[in-house]
Structure 1
Amino acid sequence: MFIEIGTAFFDPAAWPHMFSLDNTATWPEKIIRPIVVYASLVVLLRIFGRRELAQLNPFDLVVILSLSNTVQNAIIGQDNSLIGGLVGAIALLLINYFFAWVKFKFRTVEKLAEGNTVKLMENSRIHHKAVRREMMTDTDLASIVHEAGFDCVEDVEKIVLDPNGKFLVEGKDEIKDNEFKSQVLKKIDSLTKQISDLTATLQKT
């Protein structure tokens, strides 16, 4: 295997093919393809909601993996050359940088592209219409609550879905107080045990 790699590495005929575009692709095409795919994905994710960014169940994971494989051919076409792949990657990075700059300069564009925050629960009351709009089930809400460190939905005061797909979960005040008291008691017990061990050690000496 190493002999074959060495032969290919020192083969003069391999280098021009590696650093030249395929005959089926042109420079403008290699630049335009990633831009069109990037813009299309931004629009599609905006239309179909933030579920793909927020809660990835097995079905959503299959969609994401299939989507990446599907758009690969749309970006590079039939060109498998090294320079063609680099041109496509650079075009993607540049369009992403440009889009980030536009969002930074114009907040209206950011709202149009990412949307607003969605309140799924407020004052311990679930907004069922918003939950249905995001196509989330009671099991999804329970998973979000558990990941935030709460035992059940009843312990939560507010759940907000940010435009970036992350969840903000706030517990009820009494739950927060109970958790704080529990942590303090655990630390007191730990300190008491350490003092007892230290006292026993000093008595032996």
Structure 2
Amino acid sequence: MWHDLVVVQIPIVEKVLRTIAVYALILVLFRVAGKRGLAGLNTFDMVVVFLLSNVVQNAVIGNDNSLLGGAIGAVTLVAVNSAVTRWLARDPRAARLLEGTPTTVVRDGELVPGALRELALRPSELEHAVRVQNGDDLSDVARARLEPDGQLLVTLRAAERSATRGDVEELRRRLDTIERLLTDLGRRP
């Protein structure tokens, strides 16, 4: 029993190389699948993620079911992901290549032709994102773009934006000025 737990049944270098190769493959697959795959996982996306992990499991572990072999695979996966994340943070060209660039989907309240089709987004998903970000509908949007990480950033038209603390303070100052003027007018004979 102890033998099966701690003795790695394939060479450690092979285990590390298998893990890196599968990581790279999945990275490429998600890059090809596009930003929409990260925008929000629906039921179908979740099924794919669960099945994908099962499909590549044997490619990562090979003929090794040992605890130590699994630990080596897990450590390799986390280390490679950490290295790639740090690389992307330092190198904008690598980030553009591996992550892509933002895609504008709404400009001046109108859908950008072909953008939703290119990203495989449904209008209802876009409308929901606008409502979540305090807009009523697409006509309220100055610009919306889907970021490489799958987040939809919506910029509402100036008239549709919520008031900021600065806006409220400015109104308070103006009201104070009006009150002083009214008080002064009330004191005059």
Q: Do they fold alike, i.e. is TM over 0.5? A: yes
Whole-Å separation in 1 of the counterparts to 2:121 and 2:69: 41
Which structure 2 residues correspond to residues 25-40 of structure 1 after superposition, within 5 A? 25-40=10-25
2:44 to 59, 68, 93: 59
The TM-score normalised by the length of structure 1 is 0.74
Whole-Å separation in 2 of the counterparts to 1:85 and 1:152: 49
3-state DSSP of counterpart to 2:148: coil
Q: Output one character per residue of 1:152-196: Cα deviation in whole Å (capped at 9) or x when no partner.
A: 2222221111111111111122122xx439xx7xxxxxxxxxxxx
Task: Name the CA shift for 1:17/1:60 in 2 (closer, same or farther; >3 Å).
Answer: closer
- 1:188 maps to which residue? none
Bigger relative contact order, structure 1 or 2 (CA pairs below 8 A, ≥6 apart): 2
Runs of at least 5 residues in structure 2 that lack an aligned partner in the other structure: 169-189
1:86 to 38, 46, 71: 71
Paired amino acid for 1:128: P
Question: Comparing 111-120 with 93-102, which one deviates more in the overlay?
Answer: 93-102
3-state DSSP of counterpart to 2:134: coil
3-state DSSP of counterpart to 1:30: helix
For residue 85 of structure 1, report the CA deviation from its aligned partner: 0.4
Runs of at least 5 residues in structure 1 that lack an aligned partner in the other structure: 1-13, 185-205
For residue 104 of structure 1, report the CA deviation from its aligned partner: 3.4
2:59 to 56, 64, 74: 74
Whole-Å separation in 1 of the counterparts to 2:82 and 2:136: 41
Identity of aligned residues (%): 34
3-state DSSP of counterpart to 2:52: helix
Task: Name the CA shift for 1:150/1:104 in 2 (closer, same or farther; >3 Å).
Answer: closer
The TM-score normalised by the length of structure 2 is 0.80
Q: Is the CA contact (8 Å cut-off) linking 2:35 and 2:147 kept in structure 1?
A: no
Paired amino acid for 2:54: N
Q: Output one character per residue of 1:94-143: Cα deviation in whole Å (capped at 9) or x when no partner.
A: 21122223323432111100011111112222112122100112111112
- 1:167 maps to which residue? 152
- 1:17 maps to which residue? 4
Paired amino acid for 1:16: H
Which structure 2 residues correspond to residues 51-200 of structure 1 after superposition, within 5 A? 51-176=36-161, 179-180=162-163
